[in-house]
């Protein structure tokens, strides 16, 4: 029997290590101005660099209107897996919470590649975020050689089970998952709509093993060179609930256009 539960649609922007304070303010200003009018059922999430989180939280709460999804969720791009301690330069979940940050990206492939993050570490971050009531956005995805030799399903399955396997089904149901094939991130190469839907459907099945029927309502976002020119085809996938956007999130018009496309595609499906 088909489940009646449906995942909400989300467009999330990961600004990575881009912008200075002035640019971050302007970008937030443009997004908040658009969002305030409550034109969309699509949830906007914005993940600025750490130093600009407080500014982004202030701007988002000042502009939260009363229309449809007029509120912007502010996310961090990372957090530490320990509660607190002697970890110079790191940022804790409690710090993020005290700033009014509501969500956090974890397990991004750049964190895995450049900072040696494993799924064990990422799983601890997910658990800590849930403990403090923040929304984890868990990233997974295969590297190019793993796609080419056909191992991509095994890789993604292992990532999901290692990072989320120790959680209760109810906790898994609270996670947002982002499928981001590493070969498509920042490269201009995008998964075809068919490739993306195939993996998203597979991820939904794996999430069902971890969360039961509640998996139907877990948002699974696609990430990897997604932009207004290719988003409509990708967002149309039945298990694709929006996108995690890098480069195109740095230009207000492109990001807003992606919000519009997500709204159009999902309201016609």
The set of catalytic residues is 108, 180
Nearest residue (beta carbon) to ligand PEP: 246
How would you class 101 by CB atoms within 10 Å of its CB: exposed for 0-12, middle for 13-18, buried for 19 or more? buried
Binding to ligand PEP in span 6-65, by CB under 6 A: 14
CB closer to ligand PEP, 227 vs 266: 227
Min separation Cβ 11 and ligand PEP, Å: 11
Segment interacting with ligand PEP, rule: CB under 6 A, options 37-45, 84-92, 163-171, 223-231 = 223-231
Segment interacting with ligand PEP, rule: CB under 6 A, options 88-96, 160-168, 239-247, 257-265 = 239-247
Query: Which residue among 13, 136, 242, 246 contacts ligand PEP (CB under 6 A)?
Result: 246
Q: Is 259 in the site for ligand PEP (CB under 6 A)?
A: no
Dihedral Cα 74, 79, 81, 84, nearest 10 deg: -100
CB closer to ligand PEP, 48 vs 246: 246
Min separation Cβ 267 and ligand PEP, Å: 24
Binding mask 172-211 for ligand PEP (x = CB under 6 A): --------x----xx-------------------------
Min separation Cβ 2 and ligand PEP, Å: 30
116 HSE (CA, 13 A, CB side): 0
Min separation Cβ 14 and ligand PEP, Å: 5
Min separation Cβ 247 and ligand PEP, Å: 4
Query: Which residue among 223, 235, 239, 255 contacts ligand PEP (CB under 6 A)?
Result: 223
3-state secondary structure the chain: CCCCCCCCCEEEEECCCCCCHHHHHHHHHHHHHHHHCCCCCCEEEEECCHHHHHHHHHHHHHHCCCCCCCCEEEEECCCCCCCCCCCCCCCCHHHHHHHCCCEEEECCHHHHHHHCCCHHHHHHHHHHHHHCCCEEEEEECCCHHHHHCCCHHHHHHHHHHHHHCCCCHHHHCCCEEEECCHHHCCCCCCCCHHHHHHHHHHHHHHHHHHHHHHHHHCCEEECCCCCHHHHHHHHCCCCCCEEEECHHHHCHHHHHHHHHHHHHHHHCC
Min separation Cβ 98 and ligand PEP, Å: 26
Rounded to whole angstroms, the Cα distance separating 101 from 57 reads 7
CB closer to ligand PEP, 91 vs 245: 245
CB closer to ligand PEP, 38 vs 49: 49
CB closer to ligand PEP, 107 vs 211: 107
Write out the residues near ligand PEP by the rule CB under 6 A.
14, 180, 185-186, 223-226, 244-247
């Amino acid at each position: 029997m088909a489940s009646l539960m449906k995942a909400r649609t989300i467009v999330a922007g990961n600004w990575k290590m881009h912008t200075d304070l002035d640019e971050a303010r302007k970008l937030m200003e443009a997004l908040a101005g658009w969002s305030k009018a409550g034109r969309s059922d699509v949830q906007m999430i914005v993940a600025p660099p750490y130093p600009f989180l407080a500014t982004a939280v202030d701007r988002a709460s000042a502009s939260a209107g009363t229309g449809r999804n007029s509120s912007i969720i502010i996310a961090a791009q990372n957090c530490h897996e320990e509660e607190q301690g002697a970890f110079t330069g790191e940022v804790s979940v409690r710090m993020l919470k005290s700033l009014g940050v509501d969500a956090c990206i974890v397990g991004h492939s750049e964190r895995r590649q450049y900072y040696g993050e494993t799924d064990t570490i990422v799983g601890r971050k997910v658990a800590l975020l849930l403990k403090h009531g923040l929304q984890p956005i868990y990233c997974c995805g295969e590297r190019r050689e793993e796609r080419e030799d056909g191992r991509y399903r095994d890789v993604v399955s292992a990532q999901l089970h290692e990072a989320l396997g120790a959680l209760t089904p109810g906790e898994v149901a609270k996670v947002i998952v982002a499928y981001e094939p590493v070969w498509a991130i920042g490269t201009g190469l995008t998964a075809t709509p068919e490739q993306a839907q195939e993996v998203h459907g597979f991820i939904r099945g794996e999430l069902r093993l971890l969360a039961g029927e509640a998996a139907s309502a877990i948002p699974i976002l696609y990430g990897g060179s997604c932009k207004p020119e290719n988003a409509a085809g990708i967002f149309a996938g039945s298990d694709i609930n929006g996108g995690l956007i890098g480069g195109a999130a740095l230009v207000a018009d492109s990001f807003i256009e992606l919000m519009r496309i997500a709204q159009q595609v999902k309201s016609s499906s």
